[in-house]
Chain A
Amino acid sequence: MIGLEFLNIAPQRFAEQAPALVVVGPLIAACAAVLAPGRRWAWFLCVGASAFAFWMAVVLASEVARQGVISYAMGGFPAPLGIEFRVDALSAMFALLISGMAVLTAVFSGESLETEIMSSKHPLMQGGFLTCLAGLLGLVLTGDAFNAFVFLEISSIGVYAMIAMGGARDRRAYPAAFNYLIMGTIGATFYLIGVGFLYAATGTLNMADIAARIPTLTSDRSIEVGLAFILIGLALKAAVFPLHQWLPAAYSHAPSMIVVFLSATATKASVYLIIRYLSTVFAFDWQVETAFMAFVLAPLSVAGILICSMQAAVDPEIRRILAYSSVAQVGYMTLAIATATSAGVSAALFHLFNHGVMKAALFMAIGGAAIHLKSQRLSDFAGAAKSAPWTMTAFGIAALSLLGAPLTAGFLSKLRLIQSLVAADWGWAAAVIGLSSLIGVFYVGRIFEVVFFRSEPEGGSAVREAPVSILLPLWLLAIANIWFGIDATIPLGLAESAAGAVMGATTLSPAGAP
């Protein structure tokens, strides 16, 4: 399914434990990294653990492709009693995306932290990063509604502090991190309250079990309100318009390592949970839910796409331009999800994957090139292409992909988005995507003008070529952007099987059944 099956060389007993190992590996490494005697050790641990998680994710994905849904009972207790890890194609795809990005970020982190954080704190940063990785992986694999809350918090708490660590360069990181913490925690608590309502109505916490019991209920008022709370909470975490205000500030002032990783994964994991609830738990066939999708989610997505694209077009700071564009892109995904068709969800997932690849490349290039540059202003990147040709070429490729230029991954995903919207008779929504792409031409054009065509400022640019350990993951991502633009079998295969997994069956069979 993913072209990486050759990595599935684990012995069978090992492969059976993969759902647990994929989370526990990074977790143990996080503790070890905090204890590491020096920053080199911490970095090795970080790369090693991420690679291990990636390997396990590949094993998982190929097992899922081979035998369908995998259910893993934590503690050996069957599902409604114990916590279940339930891996289907959707979770496997997210696990692959998150752990793959983690490997690249981990490689990137060595040099990048060097310039941003004092070296005695590197082990703590790496430990926090690995905790976040474990949290995100757990979030996408778990089949238990409350366990998802715990992982949501694991993946956030360290991140709040790490975003604030950007304050050494720019003090605006502190209030940004604080706002993120407040918004994130309100979101998580809303989620918790929503899960409480589902629990009150169904008496269980296992998602598949909840899904199985919902049709048997006589009154669904608490389910409706529970769903509303869960979705609002997750929308806060996923930065869905208009609950996105924390994101641009947090992304523009955090240390680059964190931004690279978060931009590719964190909001995506919340989008995952939204899809999970809408499709698996509520099965897309419920009246209130369809009304919600058509009359709340879709208009909000459209507003988010347009407004945030405009904000991106006028903002003077380069990272914030990209952050606003991220919110707009989340809007694309929710818009496609709102069609509630298999093609829509698959297009959203395909775009989500590609967007992760391009955004990570963009932030990585900026982080790498601007190692010696304290400012984030776009104008300070004047002529950067001359002083850092390799870095900025990769940046340019990813930016073209963001724009949706042909022969890049972004083109294919926008094409599929529009196709799926048209197929669902949402032509106006397809027009919105077209319009926002036009605005995209403007802001990407602005960046291109500054980076490639303006001459360097007097006294030379502060932008330098990134070191090899940054160029390596950066170019991997840039090449991926082109590769997936020409031959999209891998992401498309993942997205389609994932969409098939959640859209195919209207309800999951309760745990235990094959």
Chain B
Amino acid sequence: MEWTAPLLADPSLLFGAALLVMLAAILCAIVVSRKLLTSVALTGLFTLVAALWYIAMDAPDVAFTEAVVGGGVSTLILLGSILLTRESAEPVSPSRMVFPAIAVILAGVAILYAVGSIPGFGDPASPANASVGRDYLERTYKEVGIPNVVSAVLASYRGFDTLGETTVVFAAAVGVMLLLGFGERALGDPARRHEALNPDLVEEIDHHVVLRVATKIMIPLMFLFGLYVLFHGEVGAGGGFQAGVILAIALIVHALVFGLSETMRAFPAAAMRAGASAGVLIYAGVGVINMLNGGAFLDYDFLFPPPLEQALSGPDGHAGQHYGIIAIEIGVTATVASGITAIFYGFAGRAPDIASRGASRGPESGGGS
């Protein structure tokens, strides 16, 4: 039987269309802007609007991730790196645009050619929507026993992908630590000690009392919210990754308002490094326990030895899946929170070194607008 998707009955499609147009407008602005800061702010907006679009497309988990990552972490890291480099890009000569333009147009035409044969947007009978995706919807409650199908697929059916994703964050943290260090320069910056000895460098008026008070209220709330997102991920949108980013952002706010060295005293870089690898260890460790109990890697039904699993679950519960998912989500949170904090330490802690080379800044910043 032929079905056409009830597109007009779905208000989210109207929102989706409007948001897509807005996305395209923002992207156009990014293409033409040369001031890096403007580009970064617009990129932040782009990801926020993309996240809105994800909500309209019924993908709240993706929206959540895109918002915390694209709007929060990426923007801050980009800001940190602009501070360490330069603020505007050189114009591109038109002659250099020819080859990329041809390549891009060719690739675009190829994709459009293929898109013509993809079943229509929103079609419930398309191969993508009708096969494995639908199986997950039908089986999750029976096999994993949690309502959020995305979390179930993420942590259980395709848990190995998620282990890989966690490893990627770990590898990125290792890479940034290799390249930029652990922010140790912020702790040992001689200029800073010099400043303490010369109080006339410090202005008397305290401009930011409002900000500090507000931040003091916000940070505990953010921690609490992060934990809520972590443990709520089985039922609603959210999960270990989003929780990790929120926790990291709480630390980053602290560093932004109270100073990096203050934060690094409370959460030293060595601890972040340990946390990043501990998270992957927890995750892989859960898998190894499953193997020891006779299951496949990451088969949480074997998280507990079979007799214990039966005792815990009862007739059709899924104690193993339940605790397994929580355990690996904690691992993900640990790696992501510490990894992103370590990355931020790297970028922010590099600053004094560059700032002290202020002389080479001058000619570059003149290139703006």
Contact = CB atoms under 8 A, between A and B. Distances in A.
Q: In the complex, A touching B, CB below 8 Å?
A: yes
B296 A72 contact: yes
Interface string B25-60: 000000000000000000000000000000000000
Given A20-B291, A31-B280, A81 B132 contact: yes
A102 B252 CA distance: 38
A109 interface: no
Contact of A74 (B114, B136, B298): B298
Contact of B175 (A82, A134, A151, A162): A162
B131 A74 contact: no
Interface string B104-141: 00000011011111110000001111111101100100
Contacts of B174: 34, 124, 127-128, 131, 158, 161
B170 interface: yes
A224 B113 CA distance: 10
B118 A75 contact: no
Nearest to B114: A225
Interface stretch (A56-64, A198-206, A333-341, A431-439): A198-206
A128 B171 contact: yes
Interface in B198-242: none
A150 interface: yes
A307 interface: no
Contacts of B341: none
A335 B115 CA distance: 31
B286 to A, nearest CB: 11
A418 B56 CA distance: 58
Nearest to B111: A225
Contacts of B126: 200, 203
Tell me the dominant secondary structure on chain B's binding face: helix
Interface in A78-92: 80-83
Given A80-B135, A200-B127, A222 B288 contact: no
B301 A76 contact: yes
A17 B291 contact: yes
Interface residues of B, number: 62
A131 B291 CA distance: 21
Given A17-B297, A228-B110, A200 B132 contact: no
A236 B127 CA distance: 29
B264 to A, nearest CB: 17
B287 interface: yes
Interface string A151-163: 1011001101110
Interface in A6-30: 13, 17, 20-21, 24, 27-28, 30
Contacts of B284: 24, 27-28, 31
Contacts of B118: 197, 200-201, 222
Contacts of A77: 143, 156-157, 299
A150 B117 contact: no
A147 B281 contact: no
A75 B170 contact: no
B328 to A, nearest CB: 11
Contacts of B178: 121, 124-125, 128, 161-162, 164-165
A73 interface: yes
Contacts, number: 184
B179 interface: yes
Interface stretch (B8-16, B158-166, B186-194, B253-261): B158-166
B103 to A, nearest CB: 10
Contact of A134 (B158, B167, B288): B167
A20 B286 CA distance: 13
Nearest to A17: B291
B172 interface: yes
Given A153-B168, A221-B113, A83 B160 contact: yes
Contacts of A160: 175
B274 interface: yes
Interface in B249-284: 273-274, 276-278, 280-281, 284
A238 to B, nearest CB: 19
Given A158-B175, A201-B127, A24 B287 contact: yes
Contacts of B300: 75
A121 B167 CA distance: 19
A150 B161 contact: yes
A32 B17 CA distance: 48
A81 B139 contact: yes
A35 interface: yes
Given A83-B158, A157-B171, A222 B114 contact: yes
A333 to B, nearest CB: 25
B280 A74 contact: no
B182 to A, nearest CB: 10
B245 interface: no
Which of A17, A75, A213 lies at the interface centre, i.e. has the most chain B CB atoms within 10 A of its CB? Answer: A75
A287 interface: no
B128 A199 contact: yes
B176 interface: yes
A206 B206 CA distance: 60
Contacts of A138: 164
Interface in A438-479: none
Nearest to A146: B161
A157 B127 contact: no
Contacts of A161: 174-176, 178-179
Contact of B114 (A17, A27, A197): A197
B295 interface: yes
Interface string B81-118: 00000000000000000000000000000110111111
A131 B281 contact: no
A164 B174 CA distance: 13
B177 A124 contact: yes
A199 B133 CA distance: 11
A394 B217 CA distance: 66
Nearest to A20: B297
Interface in B290-342: 291, 294-302
Contact of B132 (A21, A34, A80, A219): A80
Among A73, A82, A151, A162, which residue has the most Cβ atoms of chain B within 10 A? A82
19 contacts: A20-B296, A20-B297, A21-B291, A27-B163, A28-B288, A31-B277, A34-B276, A81-B132, A127-B277, A146-B161, A151-B164, A154-B171, A165-B178, A200-B119, A201-B127, A203-B126, A203-B127, A221-B114, A225-B110
Q: Which are the 10 A-B pairs with shortest beta-carbon distances?
A: A161-B175, A203-B131, A76-B299, A225-B114, A203-B127, A31-B277, A20-B297, A150-B164, A221-B117, A158-B171
Given A72-B296, A202-B127, A221-B116, 14 more contacts: A20-B296, A24-B297, A27-B163, A30-B170, A75-B298, A82-B158, A124-B178, A127-B174, A147-B161, A154-B167, A157-B168, A204-B131, A221-B113, A225-B113
